[in-house]
Amino acid sequence: MPKNVLITGASGNLGRSTVDTFLRDGYNVIVTVTPGKKSDFPAGKHLTSYEADLTNEKVTEEVVKLIHKQHGTIDTALLLVGGFAMGKIGDTDKDALTKMISLNFDTAYFVARPVFEIMKQQSGGRIVMVGARPALHPSEGKNVLAYALSKSMIFKLAEFLNAEGASCNVVTSVIVPGIIDTPANRKAMPDANFQDWVSPEEIARTISFLCSEEQPSFREPVVKLYGNS
Ligand SMILES: NC(=O)c1ccc[n+]([C@@H]2O[C@H](COP(=O)([O-])OP(=O)(O)OC[C@H]3O[C@@H](n4cnc5c(N)ncnc54)[C@H](OP(=O)(O)O)[C@@H]3O)[C@@H](O)[C@H]2O)c1
């Protein structure tokens, strides 16, 4: 019986590679995409797509409940939705801060909350969230303050979930990519050495390893994938 993996942000750069990797690994892949957006996922009986605005708590809770009802279990949840904004403290008013927290933290929290309860009841599961390097390095974070603050909450959330998850075999990992080699980043930084960046495929393979049966008994894993940048 294939395991069920829920992947949010599945239509993004990292999301698409992660969908491909988990399909290849033999999972039953369940994805969420933003309402109305066209997606070009490979058709097949092992991929099911749901539309949901994950910044909306009620909508998110309902879609997770529907997925659980229709698929029976959620063994693994990969919470990949996120976005970026520049700005030092002088540029970062409440609106700017709220926008980043909504996109980077709420979208993970609103999914993690019902998923965690489901995993507790089914005696275990794996959750993976995406952090960011500026949240760990103040010299970088000062230039992208709202982004760094919103991502720093991801690390704390994972710690708290791992404290509760220790008794019910739910392990939450945080992947910390450096600059991901995406078309948007190449356009924004045309003079950079793209070889130094981390590819979506490498991150997807690492996420797959973290979620695999062979995974050692990691507690509170935080995995940094910075490439050579
Ligand atoms: N790119 C980097 O260099 C980098 C570096 C460090 C960390 N990260 C983190 O890595 C993760 C993936 O990055 P990426 O470059 O693959 O991002 P991306 O290509 O911009 O993809 C973001 C995904 O989030 C989805 N999304 C946005 N708002 C949503 C909403 N309200 N409800 C549901 N889905 C929503 C998007 O869907 P639609 O396209 O349909 O709107 C898209 O699938 C993010 O958490 C990001 O912060 C990225």
Q: Give pLDDT tens digits for 15-35.
A: 999 999 999 999 999 999 999
> Hey, which of 64, 80, 150 would you mutate to test ligand 1's pocket, going by the most ligand atoms within 8 Å of its Cβ?
80
pLDDT, residue 214, reads 74
pLDDT digits (tens, 9 = 90+) for 139-188: 999 999 999 999 999 999 999 999 999 999 999 999 999 999 999 999 99
Nearest Cα to Cα of residue 104 among 149, 65, 53: 149
Nearest Cα to Cα of residue 111 among 129, 99, 97: 129
Contacts of 153 (CB under 8 A, 6+ apart): 101, 104, 105
> Hey, which of 34, 40, 174 would you mutate to test ligand 1's pocket, going by the most ligand atoms within 8 Å of its Cβ?
34
Q: What separation in Å is there between the alpha carbon of 211 and the centre of ligand 1?
A: 20
* Any ligand 1 atom below 6 A from CB of 54: yes
Tokens for 119, please give them: 């995993």
Q: Is residue 38 over pLDDT 80?
A: no
pLDDT, residue 96, reads 98
Nearest Cα to Cα of residue 79 among 167, 3, 5, 182: 5
Ligand 1 atom nearest residue 14's Cα: 16
177, 163 contact by CB (below 8 A): no
pLDDT digits (tens, 9 = 90+) for 57-111: 999 999 999 999 999 999 999 999 999 999 999 999 999 999 999 999 999 999 9
How far, CA to CA in Å, does 147 sit from each of 90, 157, 225? 14, 16, 18
Element (H, E) at 209: helix 200-211
**Separation CA 16–CA 13 (nearest Å):** 6
Which range, of 110-124, 143-157, 202-216, averages the lowest pLDDT?
202-216
Does the pTM surpass 0.95? The reply is yes
* Any ligand 1 atom below 6 A from CB of 34: yes
pLDDT, residue 81, reads 98
* Any ligand 1 atom below 6 A from CB of 140: no
The 8-class DSSP code of residue 101 comes to I
pLDDT bracket for residue 41 (50, 70, 90): confident
Ligand 1 atom nearest residue 13's Cα: 16
pLDDT digits (tens, 9 = 90+) for 42-64: 778 899 999 999 999 999 999 99
Longest CA–CA span in the chain (Å) reads 53
